[in-house]
Amino acid sequence: MTDPIPDPSSAHDAPTLRVPTATHPLPRPPGAATPAAPAATPQASAPGGTLAGEASLPAAAAGAPRASPAASGPVRQVGRYQVQERIGRGGMATVFKAHDPSIGRDVAIKFLHASLCEGDDYRARFLQEARAAGGLSHPNIVTVHDVGEIEGRPYMAMELLSGISLAEELEATRTIAVRDAVVMGIQLARALDYAHARGIVHRDIKPANIMRLTGSRTIKVTDFGIAHIEQAGEDSLRTRAGDVLGTPQYMSPEQTRGERLDGRSDLFSAGIVLYQMVVGQRPFRGDSLIAVATKIASEPATPIDKGRTDIPASLRRVIDRCLAKNPAQRFQSGGELAEALVKVLAEIDEEARERERPRILPLRVKWAAMMAAIVALVMGVTATLITQRQVAALTAQAIDYGASAARFMAAQNATMVLGEEWEAVEVIVEKIMKTGDFERITVADANGIVRAASDAALLGKPYQSPRGEALGERDKVRVERFEAGGQSVLGFDAPVTFQDQVAGRVAIGIREAPLTAVARLSITLMIVLALVTVLAVAVAMYFVANWFARPIKLVGDSMAELAKGRFDHRIHEQRGDEFGQLYAAFDAMADALQSRESALGRDGATTPGPTRAATLPGTLPGGLPSTLPGAPPAAAPGSGSRSSGPQRL
């Protein structure tokens, strides 16, 4: 039925379409005065002690309003009901808050408009479908207490709910938290699955027909006034194929075409509601109802990620499947949709637990990293010291070799230098350079003039020692390091002596590159050895720490069992180490707790918390909680909050 509150997505949304749509005041009994029009504010009493919307009521048996202790304003007796105030009006019916004194309960009573009562066919169809809705008993479907006629006016008496419709909530907040939307979607799917299993197709699922109870996430599906009954006999009065009933913005493609419907049409509408709750607008929008119906029938829905990018992909897939044009591609039952949404909810909750879970570094990782760091430090220091010693030893060997070679050349050429046989000396120098062991060889006479050299440009010139780093002397051989041609060279300068008289000098140079290559190879091998050792220690410590973590996890899980009230839980494992002592201490503690519970008269083997929670009031079918953690409980009917649930038209 139509809702007096505009749809939150658009101020121009059309009301529920019905056949017929004309409404007129109820005819009064002969001689009765024509009542005044309803007051502008439905909840307020009209002047003169009359009820707002009194014209929509059947003629009273007593004929005049009277006061009632249970009501703050005038009360009108209609049948056995004491009508207190009008709380809603639409194109098909008017809803009043009433009191049923026979059972002492406030109800919402809905009277069909007089214009719709003129045809016996439509009135009978309404009563049949209303009685079918009254046969539904589900925690997420509004309860119909009574269906009948008063003075020819069909009515339904329903439970009076405390809360607001999703349409009102969306008008105020635009969107609903994703998790809340999923929880309410699960309830909606289960309610539809229950109705469909009994042959009832709602055909007008929209936010205005879904009540959210005050202070909770529990919803109630309302307004089965245009529901379709599948199991009705062929000759019975029911809604016929070809009738276009419902709210155009929430219709399924087959519903817009007036085709025969089944429960999958409601699931399409549920998909639109889910889309609107999380995105803030409907997936199909247009400038007119015809444009909207055309888009629903032929165009794909606007992708959710264009409106919001933080919606879980799993929820997007569920909504997209609900909005499939072909009913065969949608969920085939409300149960399937509920199951898919339960998986989405589990995914959302798991992600939330991961975000809230303390970021700890597992013990096995800590131990492995700690041991790896220690070994790396030790290996690094050791490798550095060893490498330095190796390089120093190799350098000393090279210096000893160079000094020995310089002294040997000076001794072997002393006679020729003394006899100034420079040609023979040049031949010897040339042969030695061909070996490739030396970078240079220079021979000078007693006056310091170069007489033989590997570099012919130095011949006849005064000998000049290359400038570099002095490394000391070895047996009268001066040692230094210098750069030549971009390479490091060890230079050796040895005197040529004869009978303790200096007859000349021999200078040789040895490349340091081979020595450096050997040192680098040694360093590389040490690094590889260190890395392999560190890796081996880290892997070994990881598995060792993992082995140690298992007993710790066992104790943690056992503590969790105690937290659930399972005082009969024991570890019962024998170990010959400290963990064995820990196990024994835990079992002793559990014994003490169980003994104390027994002494207090309670059963020590308490049913685990999750099992108990599944049987508590305020939970949904399947153990789904009906309220947010820490949220206030839902207000009881008649607690003072204004009802706006089943009384929405």
Residues 199 and 334 in one domain: yes
- In the prediction, which pLDDT does 226 show? 63
Return phi, psi of residue 359, to 5°.
Answer: -80, 95
Q: Is the pLDDT of residue 415 over 90?
A: no
313 CB contacts (<8 Å, ≥6 apart)? none
CA separation for the pair 98, 76 (Å, rounded): 9
Compare 80 and 273 and report the one with higher pLDDT.
273
What confidence tier does 267 reach under pLDDT thresholds 50, 70, 90? Answer: very high
Residues 373 and 345 in one domain: no
Strand boundaries in 460-527, DSSP class E: 469-474, 477-484, 487-498, 501-511
- In the prediction, which pLDDT does 71 show? 43
pLDDT per residue over 448-471, tens digit each? 999 999 988 889 999 988 888 998
Residues 169 and 294 in one domain: yes
- In the prediction, which pLDDT does 516 show? 85
561 assigned to some structural domain: no
Instruction: Average the pLDDT over 136-157 and give the result.
Output: 87
β-sheet bridge partners, residue 510: 490
Domain edge (last residue) among 519, 541, 566: 519
Compare 360 and 137 and report the one with higher pLDDT.
137
- In the prediction, which pLDDT does 245 show? 61
What confidence tier does 441 reach under pLDDT thresholds 50, 70, 90? Answer: very high
Residues 389 and 497 in one domain: yes
pLDDT per residue over 483-518, tens digit each? 988 889 999 999 998 877 888 999 999 998 888 888
Q: Is the pLDDT of residue 238 over 50?
A: no
C-alpha of 405 from chain center: 77
Q: Which of 3, 7, 204, 223 is catalytic?
A: 204
Residues 297 and 421 in one domain: no
Residues 320 and 377 in one domain: no
Compare 591 and 224 and report the one with higher pLDDT.
591
358 assigned to some structural domain: no
475 labelled catalytic: no
Say which range, 8-12, 203-207, 342-346, 464-468, has the weakest mean pLDDT. 8-12
Give residue 538's identity as a one-letter amino acid code. Answer: A
Instruction: Average the pLDDT over 615-635 and give the result.
Output: 42
CA separation for the pair 410, 406 (Å, rounded): 6
Instruction: Average the pLDDT over 40-60 and give the result.
Output: 48
Domain edge (last residue) among 519, 548, 565: 519
181 assigned to some structural domain: yes
Q: Is the pLDDT of residue 626 over 70?
A: no
Burial track 104-143 (b if 16+ CB lie within 10 A, e otherwise):
eebbbbbbbbbbbbeeeebbebbbbbbebbbebebbbbbb
What confidence tier does 253 reach under pLDDT thresholds 50, 70, 90? Answer: very high
Total number of domains in the chain? 2
Compare 150 and 52 and report the one with higher pLDDT.
150
Residues 375 and 304 in one domain: no
Compare 151 and 119 and report the one with higher pLDDT.
151
- Residues 354, 359, 362, 368, CA torsion sign: positive
Domain edge (last residue) among 495, 519, 543: 519
Q: Is the pLDDT of residue 169 over 60?
A: yes
Compare 361 and 627 and report the one with higher pLDDT.
361
Annotate 312-365 with three-state secondary structure: CHHHHHHHHHHCCCCHHHCCCCHHHHHHHHHHHHHHHHHHHHHHHCCCCCCHHH
Return phi, psi of residue 643, to 5°.
Answer: -85, 140
Q: Is the bond preceding 20 in cis, omega lying within 30 degrees of 0?
A: yes
Q: Is the pLDDT of residue 155 over 80?
A: yes
Averaged pLDDT of the chain: 79
- Domain with 491 in it: what CATH number? 3.30.450.20
Q: Is the pLDDT of residue 220 over 80?
A: yes
583 assigned to some structural domain: no
Residues 326 and 371 in one domain: no
- In the prediction, which pLDDT does 356 show? 82
64 assigned to some structural domain: yes
Residues 394 and 344 in one domain: no
Residues 174 and 186: beta-carbon distance below 8 Å: no
How do 200-201 and 153-159 pair as beta strands?
unpaired
Give percent of the chain with pLDDT exceeding 90: 30
SS3 label, residue 224 = coil
Measured at the CA of 377, the angle between CA 373 and CA 382, to 5 degrees, comes to 150
- In the prediction, which pLDDT does 68 show? 47
Say which range, 168-182, 217-231, 342-356, has the weakest mean pLDDT. 217-231
Q: Is the pLDDT of residue 13 over 50?
A: no
Say which range, 184-198, 429-443, 590-604, has the weakest mean pLDDT. 590-604
Return the H-helix or E-strand segment holding 632. Answer: none
Residues 93 and 236 in one domain: yes
17 assigned to some structural domain: no
- In the prediction, which pLDDT does 613 show? 39
Compare 639 and 346 and report the one with higher pLDDT.
346
Select, from the ranges 226-240, 390-404, 621-635, the one with the highest average predicted confidence (pLDDT): 390-404
- In the prediction, which pLDDT does 178 show? 94
Compare 252 and 246 and report the one with higher pLDDT.
252
642 assigned to some structural domain: no
Residues 268 and 374 in one domain: no
18 assigned to some structural domain: no
- In the prediction, which pLDDT does 246 show? 67
- In the prediction, which pLDDT does 227 show? 64
Q: Is the pLDDT of residue 472 over 80?
A: yes
Residues 344 and 207: beta-carbon distance below 8 Å: no
Residues 326 and 414 in one domain: no
pTM for the structure as a whole: 0.56
- Domain with 238 in it: what CATH number? 1.10.510.10
Compare 61 and 33 and report the one with higher pLDDT.
61
> Could you tell me the residue range of the domain that residue 439 belongs to?
367-519
Say which range, 376-390, 394-408, 593-607, has the weakest mean pLDDT. 593-607
Task: List C-alpha distances in Å: 238 to 127, 200, 225, 230, 301.
Answer: 10, 11, 12, 9, 32
Say which range, 356-365, 381-390, 446-455, 460-469, has the weakest mean pLDDT. 356-365
